[in-house]
Chain A
Amino acid sequence: MSIRKSLIGAVILGGLMTTSALAENTFKYAFQGSLKSLDPYSLNETFTLGTLGNVYEGLTRRGPDLKILPALAESWSIEEPTRWRFNLRKGVKFHNGNDFTADDVIFSAERIKSEGSDLKSRFPDGTKFEKVDDHTVDVILTAPNPILHFEWSTWYIIDKEWAEANDSVKVTSASDQNASTISLQANGTGPFKIASHDAGVSTVFEANTDWWDNANKKHNLDKVEFSTIASDATRVAALLSGEMDMVYPIPVQDINRVDANPTTTALTGPELRTIFLGMDQRRDELLYSNIKGKNPFKDIKVRKAFYHAIDIEAIKSKVMRNLSTPSAIMLSPFMFENAEQFSRLEYNPEGAKALLAEAGYPDGFEVGMDCPNDRYVNDEAICQAIVSMLAKVGVKVNLNAQPKAQYFAKVLASGGFDTSFYLLGWTPGSFDSWNVLTNLHGCRDDEGNGGLFNLGGYCNEKVDELSAKILSENDPAKRLDMITEAYKITTGEVGYIPLHQQGLAWGVSTSIDLAQRADNELMMYYVNKK
């Protein structure tokens, strides 16, 4: 049997080798989600933008270590605090042969702010783009903004002429009655062209032989085939069987299996997303609790007690199989230089009990917890672990774990922040603290004006003042000090209980060499097939 099996294996392998020797270099990969509309302004979401980043390009791009690098803009400078100048690269052509000029940048700037765009946050309202000449653009701001270009690596420049000729000036939105060309085809300047796109199933890319940066290209691919494989087991099987060169994500429980297989390895690394617990600190009485007439989470002792009750190392080793990095702050240390000044409150169930008793809950209390079960790595299992950890200090948690669609509908602003205690994950799209401070820590009203994702309603005027200053401070050192000060306040008050940065896990064939970026975007131009 084993002889027969290995014979068959040899025949198949031989077949594969002869075909790959003759054929071009094809890289096949699969992801759990699907590439839907190709319009790069329709959806502000990592996978869609990351994939389109191989076809379209922004004025900037990010390297394997996420550093901002020039792309369609060769260089830029801050001429005055509110005037930035971008020098555009010359000789760049779109896939259809049109030249890339300042007009395309201005057109893209207008389009990204137009109705239906989901990427309006790429620059502040009121920002003006002025054409100086064909390859120079000035950006005039209403207030200084040191992080203006932080999200521009995923603001892709669209060819004005092509968009106008193909009825694609308007951003494709779901309320349109007809799908526009730009949601089905792509015309970028990037290293790959889209050869065919079967939305939700597969997309085929071809290398762009006229790419402006071909002289420095790191990839050796001719063709890339992307498929959506939603089922975890099937995705891993497709990698193990050799049908796929790379699949992601792989479930943490399958990492050993992928590593044990001689032709595949699991590439793991910390991701940018921070998973944390939030508590309702706004209502005078919790929606889901047996304590009536007051809100225990308004008492810092209770919040500290919850923090002390959590054994983060146990979550790391048992639930996350070591594929997580415990965190003391609400963003990845990648994005904050002073991260090492912060440390977690230690695991101390006895201390937690004492704090609860001090706060007037010697026998603990009951609280409802909301948790997604298909959004983050092992999200429901983390919540279950937390339920049992809190049970040890006397707090009875009633867990309500639901699919993300129902979960978000309940806990977000549209559901009226209907939660008392919840687990959420956050990645600042700009890779910058200002995003975290406003979205998660900014005071909000009952409708969500202010910190839209501050579901628990944490509020400290001082933090709001600081984040307003942080937004417009051009001096990096001063800015960093203010950010650090803000985090000192928020962590001191236990506004949230940060848990960890979850890990990335990519399954890769040993014949592939690639760069894993912490933002979980796959850049095909770093892929090499041996």
Chain B
Amino acid sequence: MPRCSGGACHFSMLAFVIQRLFQSALVMLIVALIAFVMFTFIGDPVDQMVGLETTLEEREQLREQLGLKDPVPIQFINYIGRAIQGDFGISYQFKRPVATMIGERLPATLELSMVSALFALIAGIPMGVYTALKRDSFISKIFLTVSLVGISLPTFLIGILLIFVFAVQLQWLPSFGRGQTVDLGWWTTGLLTSSGIKALIMPAITLGLFQMTLIMRLVRSEMLEVLRTDYIKFARARGLRDRAIHFGHALKNTLVPVITITGLQLGAIIAFAIITETVFSWPGMGLLFLQAVQDVDIPIMSAYLLMIAFLFVVINLIVDLLYVFVDPRIRITGGET
């Protein structure tokens, strides 16, 4: 904090945050607009809401009531007007408020995402370190091959393979669902029951495998880079032990980019949980969204897309702010970047 002092610094920070918030709002508005334009191409929600024998007049009446006959810009403005007040409408299919439904599904998705991210970190970092230190060992080669699989196989295939091995053949883990959950009033958790934890293992691995691979490869290349630098050579020359060099000096310096990537990937994990949730019938928001796409349940789709946009915007905002704190060079020109 040496360059700017007191009030001036706060002022430029505030201006920076306000500017970013404004940009964030704009991004969300654009996402909502694109979503609304897309909705006109995905089918007729009314056909999905009624049985086959419903007459044309009744279908028209329903269309009228839902405001689907208004021009798209009017629908959009109406929607945004209500969304700002926190009203995301009623699901066409479930006939329940969308905000409540997403609220009910949120804990499942967040728990899955957090555990996946943790798995990616806990498995990825040691594997990265190991493959960097023992580049030519047999185990390193296995790790690298496995990581190649993690990157190249599509998520749903990994999920189905895991189900086949661990649910059908070995019958160790459940193939679907969240197991028994405990309702804490404002949150439902599967982490407190053994069936809940068992149910979490395969989805978390499936969802986190790609991130694990990414982190492992990142740590590996950063480690290799750092191990070649002068200060590591000096450390060795001073006779420090390998352990202290590797973990005290080298690993510490590789973690900065790892933290950044993990933070940014968290949004991706939550957003891309859609596929994992579908394969494992995990009752989270992604599953809700995918069902909504099939049923043309526009209120759920728009609320979900807005929420994901919001999530990315918030994560990016936090990352931006962290950069400002971490790297003084950004802070100086904060207002103008």
Interface residues of A (CB under 8 A from B): 5, 8-9, 12, 30, 34, 36-37, 39, 42-45, 118-121, 172-179, 183-184, 198-202, 227-231, 233-235, 237-238, 240-243, 374, 403-409, 412-415, 426, 429, 435, 439, 447-449, 452-453
Contacts and interface: CB of A to CB of B under 8 A. Distances in A.
A414 B47 contact: yes
A450 to B, nearest CB: 10
B96 A405 contact: no
Q: Which of B46, B95, B176 has the most CB of A within 10 A?
A: B95
B296 A405 contact: yes
Interface in B68-124: 90-97, 101, 104
Contacts of A183: 95-96
B47 A409 contact: yes
Q: Top 10 nearest A-B pairs by Cβ distance?
A: A44-B51, A405-B43, A409-B44, A175-B65, A201-B283, A409-B43, A237-B175, A174-B92, A241-B167, A179-B96
A415 B95 contact: no
B151 interface: no
Contacts of B59: 413-414
A172 B91 CA distance: 12
A530 B114 CA distance: 42
Interface in B120-166: 160, 163-164
A183 B90 CA distance: 13
A435 B51 CA distance: 14
B171 A242 contact: yes
Nearest to B96: A179
Contact of B95 (A9, A173, A412, A429): A173
Contact of A227 (B50, B55, B177): B177
A403 B294 contact: yes
Interface of B: 41-44, 46-56, 58-59, 62, 65-66, 90-97, 101, 104, 160, 163-164, 167-172, 174-177, 278-281, 283, 287-288, 290-291, 294-296
A338 B47 CA distance: 34
B176 A233 contact: no
A200 B288 contact: yes
B49 A174 contact: yes
B175 to A, nearest CB: 4
A199 B44 CA distance: 22
Contacts of A199: 94, 96, 101
Contact of B46 (A39, A176, A414): A414
A233 B90 CA distance: 31
A403 B290 CA distance: 13
A234 B47 contact: no
A36 B51 contact: no
Contacts of B281: 227-231, 234
B91 A413 contact: no
A429 B288 contact: no
Contact of B51 (A39, A118, A408): A118
Given A174-B90, A374-B294, A412 B171 contact: no
